[in-house]
Chain A
Amino acid sequence: AQSVTQPDIHITVSEGASLELRCNYSYGATPYLFWYVQSPGQGLQLLLKYFSGDTLVQGIKGFEAEFKRSQSSFNLRKPSVHWSDAAEYFCAVGVGDKLVFGAGTILRVKS
């Protein structure tokens, strides 16, 4: 069955430090991959998506993600984290007409 694994439940980084959130997927065909962010008490906002082509994808709010087929990974990165980035981040894979989500990673930012 298709699945998405986010190995880190919680991550704490200092403001201004770099960030990498890990995502691994299990899916036989070429995946459609997404990263969403959810602030406390809010809905989901799309950060970026990958369908094909350039494996480095730029998103909103200064985020980027790199698709690595050989590692079945789609890790999210940001060079310098801001306090406002504290939120929960979800990786998801498009399977047919459905989205399958990972369990999420909660990001805490230290000032």
Chain B
Amino acid sequence: NAGVTQTPKFRVLKTGQSMTLLCAQDMNHEYMYWYRQDPGMGLRLIHYSVGEGTTAKGEVPDGYNVSRLKKQNFLLGLESAAPSQTSVYFCASKGVGAITNYGYTFGSGTRLTVV
């Protein structure tokens, strides 16, 4: 049972390059999220999805795009990377159901450096 898998784990980009981060979950969760983590700022929500084919903006969406073409996958794209996007990116997923199942499963993170 893999849970939430993020690929790649590390990446170095040059300013202006593009890339896609992949998040895959095998728990049949409806909700998926992309967060970025920066020192002293905690985790901030970039985009999220409440189901296949849906996406919504979070707290810091600028410079990122997302797609949820399949329920199990949530892609985060950077069209033109900037040094300000150097960060650790975390994907998370959550199922629906009883409120006591309000649990999130996090991936292990992707460390992205933009030079």
Contacts and interface: CB of A to CB of B under 8 A. Distances in A.
Interface of A: 4, 6, 9, 32, 42-44, 46, 49, 51, 90, 92, 94, 97-104
B58 A103 contact: no
Contact of B44 (A44, A49, A94, A101): A101
B79 to A, nearest CB: 24
Contacts of A100: 45
B39 to A, nearest CB: 9
B100 A51 contact: yes
A63 B101 CA distance: 20
Contacts of B107: 43
Contacts of A43: 90, 106-109
A86 B108 CA distance: 18
A98 B90 contact: no
Interface of B: 31, 33, 35, 40-45, 48, 50, 58, 90, 92, 94, 99-100, 102-104, 106-109
A90 B43 contact: yes
A42 B90 CA distance: 11
Contacts of A9: 40
B94 A97 contact: yes
Contacts of A98: 33, 45, 48, 58
A9 B42 CA distance: 11
Nearest to B101: A51
A90 B104 contact: no
Given A6-B42, A98-B45, 17 more contacts: A32-B102, A43-B90, A44-B106, A46-B103, A90-B43, A92-B43, A94-B102, A97-B31, A98-B33, A100-B45, A101-B35, A101-B42, A101-B43, A101-B44, A102-B42, A103-B42, A104-B42
18 contacts: A4-B42, A6-B42, A9-B40, A43-B107, A44-B90, A44-B106, A51-B99, A51-B102, A90-B43, A92-B43, A94-B102, A97-B48, A98-B45, A98-B58, A99-B43, A99-B92, A103-B40, A103-B42
Contact of A103 (B41, B90, B94, B106): B41
B29 to A, nearest CB: 11
